[in-house]
Amino acid sequence: MRTAIARGMVLFVLLASPLAALAQAYPTKPIRLVLPYPAGAGGTDLVARLIAGKTGESLGQPIVVDNRPGAVGIIGTEIVQRAAPDGYTLGFATPSSHVLAVLSGKAPYDPVKDFAPIVTLTDSVFCLVVHPSVPANSVKDLIGYIRQNPGKLAYGSNGQGGTFHLATELFRLAAGGNLDMVHVPYKGTAQVMGDLASGQIQMAFTSVTGAVPFQRSGKLRILAVLEEERYSGLPDVPSILDTLPSYDKPAGWFIIYGPAGLPQPIIARLNAEMIKAVKSPDIRGKLEQAGLMVVANTPQQSAARLKRTLDSYTKVMKAGFKFK
């Protein structure tokens, strides 16, 4: 019996040793990070280049950002799908590339089975805002006001089927579905905030960075953030989940991933180094200034986050919501 156990332990060590050696030796050449969006494209390019630079320094090999835009992120994502799972081709995932592209039926890949999540770097911080004329100081007050005044409250969004239109529909569903509001779609969030501040519309979901300047000037009121916990930048503002526990926030995450079959030691090494990079004071400061919240989670938590978004968006599609 003891002999069998000893042999098993020896076999385990022999099998584990090459994997440990692989992680220690990796990387031996530059790493390619495929970003499926154009250079300079807002938050995606900012985060990708900040993390690539910092992580490359700690790994001792450069991480080269390769912009491959097109087809709502499908072109760049396919490159990673077809790459060898050796850790030298990584991808940058967003809800557009890994959820919306899939639900549209255009993506030739399975976002769960075809990729190996490494880490969720950041998530966008969104909030619910109202004009000061609305007699509501909480989410509960707002729901009560809308129910007592059906069809009276107008809300703005960044277009039919856009992120903040989705945020409002998820709000409606979480509140029981019986909220009668008027949707006013705009071409962009700047127009939404301008009309909200002037009182032409009464409510909107938007980014914290877009809302805070108006709140400080007294032109609008932030009722809640959409995060699971209170946002450090607005510690006095509650989470919408305090009132609506079933609320599903529209996804704004950025996840680093590799092709399916990526060895676990390499995943673990990249996860550790990227968490260290995204939590470094200089990088964290730049990200928070851009309205992004550092997540820095495990590969398993990243996979769960992706699956949760996929399930949530599938649900609202079945309820009749049409994405852009």
Residue 235 forms part of a structural domain: no
**Per-residue pLDDT reduced to its tens digit, 231-242:** 888 999 999 999
Tokens 């030796």 correspond to what residue? 25
**Per-residue pLDDT reduced to its tens digit, 167-215:** 999 999 999 988 999 999 998 888 999 999 999 999 999 999 889 999 9
Residue 78 forms part of a structural domain: yes
Residues 119 and 258 in one domain: yes
Residue 238 forms part of a structural domain: no
Q: Please identify every stretch of the chain with a pLDDT value under 70, giving residue numbers as ranges.
A: 1-23
Q: How many domains does the chain have?
A: 2
Residues 130 and 117 in one domain: no
Residue 231 forms part of a structural domain: no
Residue 246 forms part of a structural domain: no
d(CA 81, CA 66): 15
Residue 264 forms part of a structural domain: yes
* Residues 105/314, Cβ–Cβ less than 8 Å: no
Starting at the edge strand found earlier in the chain, the sheet holding 221-225 runs 182-185, 154-157, 203-207, 126-130, 221-225
Residues 146 and 115 in one domain: no
Residues 163 and 305 in one domain: no
Residues 108 and 177 in one domain: no
Listing DSSP states for 187-205 in one string gives: SSHHHHHHHHHHTSS-EEE
Residues 119 and 130 in one domain: no
Residue 150 forms part of a structural domain: yes
The pTM (predicted TM-score) of the whole model is 0.82
Residue 301 forms part of a structural domain: yes
Listing DSSP states for 58-119 in one string gives: HHTS-EEEEE---GGGHHHHHHHHHS-SSSSEEEEE-HIIIIIHHHTT--SS-TTTSEEEEE
Residues 110 and 168 in one domain: no
Residue 110 is predicted with a pLDDT of 97
Supply the range of the domain harboring residue 217: 126-225
Answer with the one of 170, 190, 225 that is the final residue of a domain.
225
Residue 182 is predicted with a pLDDT of 97
Give me the CATH number covering residue 186.
Answer: 3.40.190.10
Residues 186 and 79 in one domain: no
d(CA 35, CA 119): 15
Residue 230 is predicted with a pLDDT of 87
